[in-house]
Structure 1
Amino acid sequence: MTAGAALALTEARDLRTGTVPWREKDWLPPATGELPSRDVDIAILGGGIMGAILADRLTAQGRTVAVIDRRAPGTGSTAASTAQLMWAMDVPLTMLAERLGEREAARRWKRVFAALERFGKHLDSIGGDLKQDSPTLYLAGDLLGPEALQAEAALHCRHGLPSRFLSADEMAERYAIAPRAGLVSTGTYAIDPVRTCHALLDRALGRGASIAYPVDIAALHPSARGIELETEDGRSFMAGNVILATGYERARLFLPDAFSLLSTFAIAAPPGTAPLWNENAMIWEASDPYLYVRASRDGRIIAGGEDIDVADKDTRDRLLPGKAGIIAAKLAAMLGKDKIDWERAWAATFGSSPDGLPAIGRARNMDNLWIAAGFGGNGIAFAALAAEILDASLREKADQDARCFDPYRFEND
């Protein structure tokens, strides 16, 4: 099968609106180069955090890699991420266990936990202070109340996932927030997503990778040598394998409809506002709609949520002022404050899946084509997972957990 001109290879979207807390004047993306003049082992379509993590991992294994993006790397959805790296999913473990059984649900969570732990150690080994360790607080809400959170904590502990339950009074005393029962989990951290993306791409380029942008790949043509990638303006090059790391600009020819799009909203307080609670904890709610909160390295409070099941840019942008106000009010209530001022607000396209887990694996309808779609609430953690699974697959080594994240796992639901 070829990706013909009648249907674009990937969607083209305005992925974010507003002002993000990462200073755009400090962004130092790698300089663009030319399309490869020789065959490469792997072409990665997408130069965001997913593509960067993949490029770093795959070049470290000695592969020749070309990264292609239609915009400057890291400036799409990556720049809109609040970059809380957690191993807990949007679908609680107790709820996933009801669907899959406890053993299978825990298997998926434990693999994400392990991938996130390994990625954190990798960032530490790179240096440059790329990550900030902090615990995660998961507060009782309308999705999971105190008793349900106790059951969630027990299930975490039974499978070696580091969480413990605290009562409302214990949570308020330890973390200086409004009293609410919750889980405290460790093994989580935060990053500056754009800075980390660029650092990983620089490492890949140092090993001989190439990067070209803005370049739009219009079609993929299978051949005996792999896949020919054809640009919108008629140029082409060959790759033995292609990885679709196009984020929330879906490759609809290959990614099943179960992986859907929505919109999310966020605000950031001025620098120096934090800390207003203890231990630099990341906080989120077992609620729908939820609120999540963290502090950045420069003392901003970053809060977001209020997702809507609409990915239309005009609708998203129209709702941004009102959603920002709701998030600010919820934030103040969570922290037990009368008011918290904010100076930046943004909206972004976001992806979800029925089980809160990503799409990682071989595309069924084209040989040598792979999908790395971090849909769900943990996109950067899922990128670390995708790098492990696809690295093994490309080396034809079995990964015992690969089927858990197969893009076509919902076909019989």
Structure 2
Amino acid sequence: MELYNGDLYWPTTESDDVVLKKSEKKEHYDVLVIGAGMSGTLTAYTLQQDGVDFAVLDGRKVGTGSTSANTGLIQYSNDIMLHELAEKIGEEAAVRFYRLCLDAVESLDQVAEDVGASEIYIRRDSLCFASEEADVAKLKLEYEMLSKHGFEVEWLDREALRERFPFEKPAALITKGDAEVNPLTLSRQIIRHLSKQHVPIFEETSVDEVVSDGEDWLVFTSNGTFKANKVIFATGYGPAPLLDSHRIDLNRSYAIATNPIAEFTEWEGRALIWETKRPYLYLRTTPDGRIIAGGLDEDKAETPHNEALMNDRAERVKEKIAELFPMYDLEVDYAWVALFGESVDQLPFIGEHPNRPNLFYLLGYGGNGTVYSMLGSHILSALVRGQVHPDADLVRLDRT
């Protein structure tokens, strides 16, 4: 499966390949983590913190899957708003899930500090604006629900928004506690950290088949057979073996990185920006002064190799930035398209296979994949150690 296509920005910020300590394959592991992108590395980090015996496998060189195409907006708010999620799963469960996401943003901050990546994990506010007048009522409901449950949120009407940003929209919310990240650097720093801790990591080890022998799982790979009591699939938007995928939609999204901008005096706090319309525009800045923006999502599970189409989408994203910030002289320096997955209810799938004991999945489908991966790593670490996690029911694989 081709996860992305185009000219990626993040690899240009990483000058060195990850040099791993050579790992000798053991006869048996307690846990195998399959996948060394953001989901796999965060899972591995948490397992290592919790003292689990495990190894990591990845079919590619580490950091060359979906993580390198991630736009790096870290937000606890979801593609489905809190008040909308409450209508689907109940207010108590919805608030519990949102708190998990907020806690995950804090955990990511600690991970970045621990692995020496604090300079690329930068805390930001988020601004969500009403795309049109009809969306103001929905945004107001969200403001009231967030306020009711103690989330730090600010309401801006049209005039207040115009005083603080150089564009006019009917209304907006500012939420606190989010972040931006260079996802490739963070995942690679985690891998470097784990390698120094002598965690066995086997890259360019593609998985061919996973079979139970009655007691353990045999994982047949291009690098021989691995045996483990438990297997965690942290495969991003790639295939999830032995799992029914009928409740998952794969789509594609376009993104660009602009030329560096001299200063962002008009962009208050360099906040992460998104909107109520679906599909929505999302944008952020980078430490070297670029704007990363994306959107124009399409319901197609393939990445096009059509240069004219790619150029058209890149120009359209640039034009949307210019509508908000007309004072910037923008050029498209990098443009790409990437697959992303969504579940029917907009929540991730995290937990044990309902019919195959000791097979686990961390599938962070949705717009907050990195946040879902962080919270999921704690759930899975508890489950593989035989513990009960109080929030595992929210994201279990067999939920209706």
- Provide the rounded CA distance (Å) in 1 between the counterparts of 2:245 and 2:325: 40
Worse-superposed segment, 122-131 or 313-322:
313-322
Match of residue 51 from structure 1 = 40
Overall identity of the aligned pairs, in %: 29
Match of residue 132 from structure 1 = 122
- Provide the rounded CA distance (Å) in 2 between the counterparts of 1:60 and 1:144: 47
CA separation of 1:218/1:143 partners in 2, compared to 1, >3 Å: closer, same or farther?
Answer: farther
- Provide the rounded CA distance (Å) in 1 between the counterparts of 2:263 and 2:368: 24
* Equivalent runs, 1:4-403 vs 2, <5 Å: 13-24=1-12, 26-31=15-20, 33=22, 36-128=25-117, 129-141=119-131, 145-232=135-222, 235-275=224-264, 276-314=266-304, 319-337=309-327, 340-403=330-393
What is the Cα-based RMSD across aligned positions, in Å? 2.1
- Provide the rounded CA distance (Å) in 1 between the counterparts of 2:347 and 2:296: 20
Structure 2 letter corresponding to 1:192: N
Structure 2 letter corresponding to 1:161: F
Worse-superposed segment, 362-371 or 191-200:
362-371
- Provide the rounded CA distance (Å) in 1 between the counterparts of 2:45 and 2:358: 20
Structure 2 letter corresponding to 1:305: G
Given that 1:35 and 1:212 are in contact with CA atoms closer than 8 Å, whether structure 2 keeps it comes out as no
Find the residue that maps to 2:269 and give its secondary structure. Answer: coil
CA separation of 1:302/1:213 partners in 2, compared to 1, >3 Å: closer, same or farther?
Answer: same
Worse-superposed segment, 343-352 or 138-147:
138-147
Give ranges in structure 2 of 5+ residues lacking alignment: none
Given that 1:172 and 1:180 are in contact with CA atoms closer than 8 Å, whether structure 2 keeps it comes out as no
| Equivalent residues, number | 397
- Provide the rounded CA distance (Å) in 1 between the counterparts of 2:373 and 2:306: 26
CA separation of 1:201/1:126 partners in 2, compared to 1, >3 Å: closer, same or farther?
Answer: closer
- Provide the rounded CA distance (Å) in 2 between the counterparts of 1:367 and 1:143: 50
CA separation of 1:144/1:85 partners in 2, compared to 1, >3 Å: closer, same or farther?
Answer: farther
- Provide the rounded CA distance (Å) in 2 between the counterparts of 1:388 and 1:49: 14
- Provide the rounded CA distance (Å) in 1 between the counterparts of 2:16 and 2:133: 38
Given that 1:274 and 1:300 are in contact with CA atoms closer than 8 Å, whether structure 2 keeps it comes out as no
Question: Deviations for 1:200-239, whole angstroms, at most 9, x for unmatched residues?
Answer: 1122222221111211111112235521111147x20211
Given that 2:303 and 2:337 are in contact with CA atoms closer than 8 Å, whether structure 1 keeps it comes out as no
CA offset at residue 20 of structure 1? 1.8
CA separation of 1:114/1:376 partners in 2, compared to 1, >3 Å: closer, same or farther?
Answer: same
CA separation of 1:28/1:274 partners in 2, compared to 1, >3 Å: closer, same or farther?
Answer: farther
CA separation of 1:27/1:76 partners in 2, compared to 1, >3 Å: closer, same or farther?
Answer: farther
Structure 1 letter corresponding to 2:313: K
TM-score normalised according to structure 1 size: 0.90
- Provide the rounded CA distance (Å) in 2 between the counterparts of 1:388 and 1:144: 39
- Provide the rounded CA distance (Å) in 1 between the counterparts of 2:153 and 2:81: 13
CA offset at residue 179 of structure 1? 4.1
Given that 1:115 and 1:388 are in contact with CA atoms closer than 8 Å, whether structure 2 keeps it comes out as no
Given that 1:292 and 1:303 are in contact with CA atoms closer than 8 Å, whether structure 2 keeps it comes out as yes
CA separation of 1:326/1:143 partners in 2, compared to 1, >3 Å: closer, same or farther?
Answer: farther
Worse-superposed segment, 243-252 or 300-309:
243-252
Give ranges in structure 1 of 5+ residues lacking alignment: 1-12
Match of residue 408 from structure 1 = 398
- Provide the rounded CA distance (Å) in 2 between the counterparts of 1:84 and 1:383: 14
CA separation of 1:286/1:35 partners in 2, compared to 1, >3 Å: closer, same or farther?
Answer: farther
CA separation of 1:27/1:85 partners in 2, compared to 1, >3 Å: closer, same or farther?
Answer: farther
- Provide the rounded CA distance (Å) in 1 between the counterparts of 2:21 and 2:60: 10
Given that 2:205 and 2:221 are in contact with CA atoms closer than 8 Å, whether structure 1 keeps it comes out as yes
